[in-house]
Structure 1
Amino acid sequence: MNIDRRACLKLFGQSAAVVGIASFSGCKTLNLANAKYTYQGQALAIRNRIIAPSFPDYAMSITELGAKPGFENDSSEAIRQTIAKVVSAGGGTVVVPAGEFYTGPVHLESNINFHIAKGAVLHFYPEPERYKPYVFTRWEGTELMGLSPLIYAYKKTNVAITGKGILEGGGSEQHWWPWKGPWKKSTWGDDPIENQKFTRDVLREMAEQELPVAQRVFKNNYLRPPFIQPYACINVLIEGVTIKNSPFWLVNPVLCKNVTVRNIHCDSHGPNSDGCDPEACTDVLIENCIFDTGDDCIAIKSGRNADGRRVGQPCENILINNCQMRSGHGGVVIGSEISGGVRNLYAQNCEMSSPDLDRGIRIKTNSIRGGHLKNLNYRDIRIGQVKEAVVINFYYEEGDVGKFTPVLEDINIENLYVEHATRAFSLRGYPHTPITGVSIKNLTILKVDKASIIENVATIKQENIMINGKKVLITNG
């Protein structure tokens, strides 16, 4: 298969010349059969496999079956009936037109494009009882029968959420978020009963004891639901929408294949407001998105502890391209629920910057979670302001108290440019399992305020690392 220069630029953006794509065997004659082991060949192969679903021309507005704007007008049943009618017609598009509509959870079916039109705001009532009966879901990487995600699809094929409208999750200091418990400097979240800790801790023990998922049910469940969760679906598209004030993680495809997330705007600053968390998925494209979040912007996951190892599905073949990361705990993150492993990640052409961006590139795990992390590639990333540029932490949360030590293999960071970082690196391996398998090339940080933290790093291939105008070498502190 040959591709021309125009196709190269479409994939790799204006930085193509920087990374030498145009001169790689002459981009005009790049042959994937010969280049399958190169960065360019592998990234392009992932893109070529990922094809967004298409839908029949048939479309129906939710107003045709009685949906009306306004808080007092519950559109839940009209949305459900509209989806059912479009399914009976062979599939197509369910339209939420301009206006402010209110609903409970939305469950998508196969061959349904749920379209939020420009000028539409779809509010989800922040009333937990509406999100029952419980569904098969995951919460922080552990399976259970839990509150329905706000938009949910289970074992469906060809599902989409599209449009230029707004999805409003209703998370706030009064609703959903207080279940987190004490958070930052908030004055809410101290309720001794309505606190996720009491459900979470029991759930995690159930998973360690390998209790069947059907029995992981709680009469009083205080685990906040994710906003959008397609679960075990094939051919998923999430495009164009703005997602605001999520109860929990915003976009969380789990065990899905062929996932496209593009041109979305994630704007949520509550606890655990991760932007996009593909979990144990295969073939994922995240492109041209904006993340302004209260937690990780993008976090790649594959299940937590015993549950992640039981399911045993890595998150693999992921292409992140041309995204913007603003505030958040991390820009492109691996973990922490990573027990199933991650392989074949390509993150490129991204821009990050905010006084509230804690980390740029981040890998977080520990010896309870473990995980084999292989072939992770970060290239052509620009960061304006960040607290820590590159973080690899084997001590995340529980530290070193387990028997599943993380394995890093073929981790590559190239062409990373940072204007201002409080700290360049925080690399913390174990004395018995130091960090290995990392390569850093062409990294420039114009201004750094504090010394890096380097603990138990065995070997890092490094070339042309410039910090504060001086060439440096990463060595154990």
Structure 2
Amino acid sequence: MVETSTPTSSQSCRWRRWWASLSPSNHHHHHRRWVPSATFCSTHKTLLTAVCLAFFFTVLYWQGDGTAAGLLIFRRGLPLRQLPKLRPFTFNLTDFGGVGDGVTLNTEAFERAVIAISRLGKKGGGQLNVPPGNWLTAPFNLTSHMTLFLAEGAVILGIDDEKYWPLMPPLPSYGYGREHPGPRYGSLIHGQHLKDVVITGHNGTINGQGQTWWKKYRQKLLNHTRGPLVQIMWSSDILISNITLRDSPFWTLHPYDCENVTLKNLTILAPVFQAPNTDGIDPDSCKDMVIEDCYISVGDDGVAIKSGWDQYGITYGKPSKNILIRNLIVRSNVSAGISIGSEMSGGVSNVTIENIHIWNSRRAVRIKTAAGRGGYVRDITYRNLTFDTVRVGIVIKTDYNEHPDGGFDPKAFPVLENISYTSIHGEAVRVPVRIQGSAEIPVRNVTFRDMSVGITNKKKHIFQCAFVQGRVIGTIFPAPCDNLDLYDEQGNLVRPSTSQNSSDIDYDI
């Protein structure tokens, strides 16, 4: 409850004593120093208000990270996220006939449970508990105001026979199934036009049993694009946390045109080889999203931010923006740890990627696009990245020429600008930087600061650039390419670039 009445003087002082006791820096014997007596309260209300406000802001400061972080809750930016509410109604899957023997098909049990919860929306919704066991199912839909809770030892198994998977129209910003023209398979767990959905648990598992799908894809036996493991579309207020997602037929977790999404404490797994296109997380035309505290080891990009494909994405016009990605450990042997694109025709902006450890991977962080995409990638901040045994550390590529059909405009050139890399460290990296702009798609306003990467190749051109404009601040290792201006730590120009359009891209290293 929130008390809205004005407290009396003595109540106000008692409240302030209680508030002071919450501060970890104030022990009991310090309270007199900070909290005035009741007499003082009753006679000096104005001064007391000022003191207490100052104390309130001090507590916020202490609860930050030693800077003013505690005050950031008052900044405009990503919306404040509340913890998920406890649902007033709770059900077990077994209440609806579920059998967790790994053989019985539980699709109808899930559907009956979702229908029951859908009737409770005005009362706060409901929680569906999935107990320990192996719960085989075909794809099913979620509903608003629902919590899907997977107990420890609970495994939702996707049936691996495609005849049970419904076909859906292509995504409007793609105009085409990502692998085949025409319709695409839906996801194992799906939702559209939802609000207030939680998928969580005690590290239970959603297993797509993708092995059969991967084999049929490689043998070209599928006529439609494979489906994701979890796909939520046109929805808001989504929380997915504390579960394991593994062996998806296609992309693992795909929020599409959603807002206010939190993905945290997830383990996402697929074989690093022979599991094609099993991206970990693909935010697609989403805004106001946090991805944090995850471990991802998959057969394609760990995270890939997207916003539509060529003319279809340009027409749909929904950017991905206001995304924070932090505290991830990622492995991607065939692609990249964190990617932006290549489907980015609706635009990508205001993305922060920080505190990321990428190991045993082909590429670490990558931006990929091409002529025909249109759109933009701008205002991207990379901070505190660690590369451990990576072939190429930082990549910007502008000739990623995959197109849905021949209807794209080859003169729709994307804009790449305002990209910064700060505190980049690591070892056993073959090529630390490869920024490959072009005359039509130059890369503008790139900044490097505080970089030291141990390299495995001693050739000259291991910091590679083409058609890039930007700066290096301070000393970095390895030595930057000549396309970038050099500044000292005080911001004084030391050496201007010799040519922003020169190229020393060398794909042999």
Whether TM-score is above 0.5 comes out as: yes
Partner SS, residue 78 of structure 1:
helix
1:124 maps to 2:124: no
Q: Match of 2:207, as an amino acid?
A: E
Residues 129 and 27 (structure 1), Cα distance of their counterparts in 2 relative to 1, 3 Å cut: closer
Aligned counterparts of 2:399 and 2:362: Cα–Cα separation in 1: 17
Asked if 1:359 corresponds to 2:363, the answer is yes
Report the CA distance between 1:473 and its aligned residue: 4.2
Within-5 A mapping of 1:437-456: 437-449=445-457, 451-452=461-462, 454-456=464-466
1:467 and 2:477 correspond = yes
Q: Deviations over 1:101-147 (max 9, x none)?
A: 10000200111111111111111101111112x33553994466532
Contact 1:428–1:453, Cα closer than 8 Å, also in 2: no
Report the 3-state secondary structure (helix = DSSP H, G, I; strand = E; otherwise coil) of the residue aligned with 1:334: strand
Per-residue deviation at 1:380?
1.2
Aligned partner (choices 292, 313, 320) of residue 318 of structure 2: 313
CA deviation string 1:226-283 (max 9, x = no partner): 1111000111111111111100000100000100100010101310010001000110
Structure 2 vs 1, CA of residues 306 and 55 (structure 1 numbering), >3 Å: closer, same or farther?
farther
Q: Which residue of 2 aligns with 1:389?
A: 393
Q: Provide the C-alpha distance between the structure 1 equivalents of 2:299 and 2:82, rounded to a whole number of angstroms.
A: 31
Contact preservation (8 Å) 2:421, 2:449: yes
1:371 alignment counterpart: 375
Q: Which residue of 2 aligns with 1:135?
A: 168
Question: How big is the shift at 1:162?
Answer: 0.9
Shift of 1:319: 0.5
Give the CA RMSD over aligned residues.
2.4
Q: Residue 62 of structure 1: which of 48, 70, 93 is its match?
A: 93
SS in 2 for 1:392: strand
> In the alignment, is the contact (CA less than 8 A) between 1:139 and 1:223 conserved in 2?
no
**TM-score, normalised to structure 1's length?**
0.80
The within-5 A match list for 1:404-423 is: 404-423=412-431
How many residues get paired? 410
Q: 1:80 aligned to 2:111?
A: yes
Cα deviation for residue 178 of structure 1 reads: 3.0
For 1:287, give the aligned amino acid: E
Which of 98, 106, 109 is residue 140 of structure 2 equivalent to?
A: 106
Counterpart pick for 1:165 among 204, 216, 221: 204
Superposed displacement of residue 404, structure 1 = 1.4
**Which of 191, 194, 198 lines up with 1:153 in the alignment?**
191
Inter-partner Cα distance in structure 1 for 2:412 and 2:83 = 37
Q: Name the counterpart of 1:207.
A: none
CA-CA distance at 1:54 after TM superposition: 2.9
What is the CA–CA distance in structure 2 between the aligned matches of 1:282 and 1:272, rounded to whole Å?
Answer: 23
Q: Find 1:8's aligned residue among 52, 64, 84.
A: 64
Give 1:82 deviation, angstroms.
Answer: 1.1
CA shift for structure 1 position 338: 0.5
Output the CA distance in 1 between the equivalents of 2:84 and 2:168.
Answer: 25
Identity across the alignment (%): 28
What is the CA–CA distance in structure 2 between the aligned matches of 1:7 and 1:142, rounded to whole Å?
A: 48
Question: 5 Å matches for 1:323-342?
Answer: 323-328=328-333, 329-342=335-348
Greater relative contact order structure (CA < 8 Å, 6+ sep):
1
Gaps of 5+ in 1: 10-21, 37-44, 182-188, 196-220
TM-score between both structures, scaled by the size of structure 2: 0.75
Contact 2:73 2:80 in 1 (8 A): no
Structure 1 CA distance, aligned partners of 2:70 and 2:119?
A: 47
- The separation in 1 between residues aligned to 2:151 and 2:62, in whole angstroms, is 32
The structure that has the greater radius of gyration is 2
CA distance in 1, matches of 2:423, 2:465: 24
- Please give the alpha-carbon distance, in whole angstroms, between the structure 2 residues aligned to 1:83 and 1:425: 49
Shift of the 81–398 alpha-carbon distance from structure 1 to 2, 3 Å rule, reads closer
Residue of structure 2 aligned with 1:252, choices 245, 251, 254 = 254
State whether structure 2 residue 326 is matched by structure 1 residue 288.
no
CA contact under 8 A between 2:139 and 2:188: conserved in structure 1?
A: yes
Q: Which residue of 1 aligns with 2:305?
A: 300
